[in-house]
Structure 1
């Protein structure tokens, strides 16, 4: 990749050449060259494939006079998240509610302040409540002349059919590990060996690969997770390991949420004119309670996401063990844990490895169904021990 190519807004769309071609054709069409442009888009693809990055790059290119040069004011403000005519809609909680949806529908109807389009990027479109989706539907059906909606979701089926049927789909694929490694080396200056290991371990998730490559502590946490099956010898070990995973996930969620929650409380007090020891205006208590409930739900989601990350690491380890046992000849996801993979391949049989995989998948399903995390993890750890 040349230095010029890396300077454009499309640079971070790793392994997505067909998607880039589609979006570039749409940008050209929006400038009057063809009919590839439409007012509503739906970006889908597996976690880490770059759905949001693709939408942001597309939005920047549409606002740019040079179709996404990467260095003009429109491109730089779009990438920084400060372009006045590009709004990113996401949720820190469990869903995007109808009040937020209606607010952004009104915003989409405004004329652009400085750009050519009023662009609304809905990350986590699969988390729109039914009422929010209904509020969004009319804006997608009958958009204002300058509005463009870009929705992001894991799969088409995750978005209600009335909305997805009115959007042009853009499917992203899981980026190859070699492409991710090259991006880490060229963009972030990561050592090639570290970049290669992080790219393989990320299983196609670009953000996770970058986190592993740049953070030695993250790499150590991953090594600790991969060592779990070898350390489970007694029932007590299983119970201790399960609670350690829960505690680490809770601490991780707190670390992410504490600062944002303090800022949210400060903003709420300022909005309602609340002094530290003054009287509380009517309605403030209800607003505070609603915010605290949202924050609790967010902490729970962050903790569950952290636990799920542990389970995915264990699944990748079991996959490597099976590959070793069956002599498949495929590359290992965890190539840096080759000794541990070999040891487990000797200790387990292919059948017991498959049972372990089933136990991890069952644990993920139980957590998705709102099972108590310590109990679900304890049961899974017992299966890992056997």
Structure 2
């Protein structure tokens, strides 16, 4: 097995030694190219597609690679993590690294056209003009077409880094995928996640191991569970649902709790940011000003505020859906564990700290009933993807979880 690189920017790429090896080799080749030296053929290319399951670290790997491409420190090990180029690239403030993180449900064509224009420029302070698009699966058809033109005929010093759950046509179009080098990341092992939580975040070994064992291979979720009391409370509330549905009267309170919890999390995440954005926009548009031209500026501010509110609403909707989806993934893991217990399978549980509840459920339900409950969770996730109202989808789900039919 390829040894993991645990220094510089690569230390944050958890449990992906082969991916780090490929990216490090490409960064060396890119450095040779910009300095006029010969490089290994095929090591570096102008467009990359980082794929992998949620929590695998797609965007972290892409940011680390962007930093290595701009690194001015160690020529043999690009991505030192110490130079200004590395630090600003990872932080998203480097002048020649554009990071697109969609706040709403999609990336619009206007946003992508603007980005493509920036990508066509020569780098100002760095070696490359790097465009990093997180959640590239959220590109609209028009945005994907605008990006395709740039990827087909890229400027000599521009690199595109796209992140998506998979390279399936539903996530990234075949035409874009065919022009990218695909780098597939796997789910990090619990041991690798526990190690980074202990080594980098300073958590005690016991807490780190627990969080790593219940996070489903999602590094960010492991950190939240280990450090956030509210995240742990939400998980406990979700995992009480399967055995808590004793009567039909329990269905609607449980549904209400799931939806309200997701709404509360979205409000917490978006509330402070929304207010800060609103105040910044009002100040920029001359709110509170006096004198000539104030009236026309105020009229312009109203239109800009409406546009901001629309984007904030879209962000809140996405945040709520993401929170609800995390709850559904936890539920799916529980029913999967019940099936493992029912058949005596020797496989790690998704929720090892709920082993007693899993055994109790396996004793109450038939395997067929447990499977139908798992299928209902997956069907709810699909319904939410198709824009079914969360309350309707969740009530249908919890009803199915109660009946087992």
TM-score, scaled to structure 1:
0.94
Superposed CA deviations along residues 260-307 of structure 1, whole A, max 9, x for unmatched, are 212222233234334389635454433332322222222122111111
CA distance in structure 1 between the partners assigned to 2:332 and 2:240 by the alignment: 13
Which residue does 1:172 correspond to in 2? Answer: 185
CA distance in structure 2 between the partners assigned to 1:376 and 1:37 by the alignment: 45
Which residue does 1:12 correspond to in 2? Answer: 12
Which residue does 1:187 correspond to in 2? Answer: 200
Counterpart contact for 2:266–2:320, Cα < 8 Å: yes
Which residue does 2:35 correspond to in 1? Answer: none
**Deviation of residue 354 (structure 1)?**
0.7
CA distance in structure 2 between the partners assigned to 1:347 and 1:335 by the alignment: 19
**Deviation of residue 334 (structure 1)?**
0.9
CA distance in structure 1 between the partners assigned to 2:56 and 2:328 by the alignment: 20
Gapped regions of structure 1 (runs ≥ 5): none
CA distance in structure 1 between the partners assigned to 2:197 and 2:124 by the alignment: 36
Matches within 5 A, 1:69-148: 69-148=80-159
Range moving further from structure 2, 340-349 or 282-291:
282-291
Which residue does 1:162 correspond to in 2? Answer: 175
CA distance in structure 1 between the partners assigned to 2:295 and 2:261 by the alignment: 39
Counterpart contact for 1:94–1:301, Cα < 8 Å: yes
SS of the aligned residue for 1:53 comes to helix
- Indicate how the Cα distance of structure 1 residues 254 and 280 shifts in structure 2: closer, same or farther if over 3 A, else same: farther
Counterpart contact for 1:315–1:357, Cα < 8 Å: yes
Counterpart contact for 2:103–2:318, Cα < 8 Å: no
Range moving further from structure 2, 102-111 or 205-214:
102-111
Counterpart contact for 1:27–1:62, Cα < 8 Å: yes
Q: How many residues align?
A: 383
Gapped regions of structure 2 (runs ≥ 5): 33-38
Superposed CA deviations along residues 331-383 of structure 1, whole A, max 9, x for unmatched, are 21111112211211111121111111111112222222222222222222122
**Deviation of residue 114 (structure 1)?**
1.8
Superposed CA deviations along residues 76-132 of structure 1, whole A, max 9, x for unmatched, are 222222222111012101111122212222222222222111111011111112222
Range moving further from structure 2, 52-61 or 152-161:
152-161
Which residue does 1:333 correspond to in 2? Answer: 350
CA distance in structure 2 between the partners assigned to 1:292 and 1:300 by the alignment: 12
Matches within 5 A, 1:283-294: 283-294=300-311
* Candidates 269, 287, 296, aligned match of 2:282: 269
Counterpart contact for 2:234–2:261, Cα < 8 Å: no
